[in-house]
Amino acid sequence: MCTAVSFRKRGFYFGRTLDNDSSFGEEVVIAPRGFYLRGAREHYAIIGMATVREGYPLYYDGMNEKGLCMAGLNFPGNAGYNPPSAGAENVPQYNLLPHILGSCASVAEAARALKAINLTDEPFSADMPAAPLHWMISDGQRDLVAECVEGRMQLYENTVGVLTNNPPFPVQYAALSDYMALSSDEPRNAFCPALGLKPYCKGMGAMGLPGDYSSHSRFVRAAFVRNNYELCEGEDGESALARILSAVEVPRGCCRSGDGWEVTLYSSRMDAAHGVYSYTTYKNRAAERVALGGVSGDALVRFTADT
């Protein structure tokens, strides 16, 4: 389970929660311009959360030096990739995020790149098959969702600024119509004016906003909070995004997964203008910040995250 959100007040910020029942040794990883990304000897520098295997970063999310941001979210039962094809620009699923962030400076460039590739089901290793994902890609102006279903890459403009998991994005978007009567304002009595009904507390305009941790409910809840959020005086966009993401964080004991519990392992916020990656973990609520900094070099720069 995961939720990704963009936010464009007092700057451009992008973030996500990653919910799982176990950690895979997540680290904040900088891939400088000279680090060899498969298929690219030179590329834009990237910073993001990743698991490093055999010296290679498997990114969950990240941004590049141009301010383009991207996150992969679980999409089981729907994601379907292709086998490699002779003569095609084959990109394995595990390398899609560095492929896009390494070569694209904007969502427009990312859309063109996504249309040109053959996204393949090649595993990273024998014990790491292709993960079923879909992706949200954002810059300062727009958001895009990329879903590869039955081997066909589908791109969707994301005017909601939110992505979770299943069902596919068009279904999630259409389902928002079920909640269009919800409001941050006090409700008026449309039930029966003759009864003289009145609100008995604040917040009743949003009664019916789903509060569970399913992907559908998190999509609706994050969309409501994100699109109604009002900054207070002196508040910056990163703080606002942190509060938006907190609305969908999963505490231990609320979502069982086998013999364990699904929890929000980490919540990230990316300040695209300044190249700063911030995050909190379930174990550490104090925000840690890592700056992209120098973009030259050919070796990964790694910072352990206490997930």
Active site residues: 2
**Cα–chain-centroid distance for residue 38?**
23
In three-state secondary structure terms, 233 is coil
- Bridge partners of 156, per DSSP, are 145
DSSP state string for 160-193: S-EE-SSS-HHHHHHHGGGGTT--SSPPP--S-G
CB 256 within 8 Å of CB 17: no
Q: Compute the distance between CA of residue 68 and CA of residue 7 in angstroms, rounded to an integer.
A: 13
For tokens 């990230």, the residue is 268
What angle (nearest 5°) sits at the alpha carbon of residue 44, between those of residues 169 and 19?
A: 40
Q: Compute the distance between CA of residue 69 and CA of residue 147 in angstroms, rounded to an integer.
A: 16
- DSSP annotation of 124 reads S
Residue type, 223: A
Residue 267's H or E segment, with its range, is: strand 263-271
Q: Compute the distance between CA of residue 71 and CA of residue 61 in angstroms, rounded to an integer.
A: 4
Asked, as a colleague might, if the bond just before 193 is cis with ω within 30 of 0, I would say no
Asked, as a colleague might, if the bond just before 167 is cis with ω within 30 of 0, I would say yes
For tokens 């364990």, the residue is 260
CB 162 within 8 Å of CB 169: no
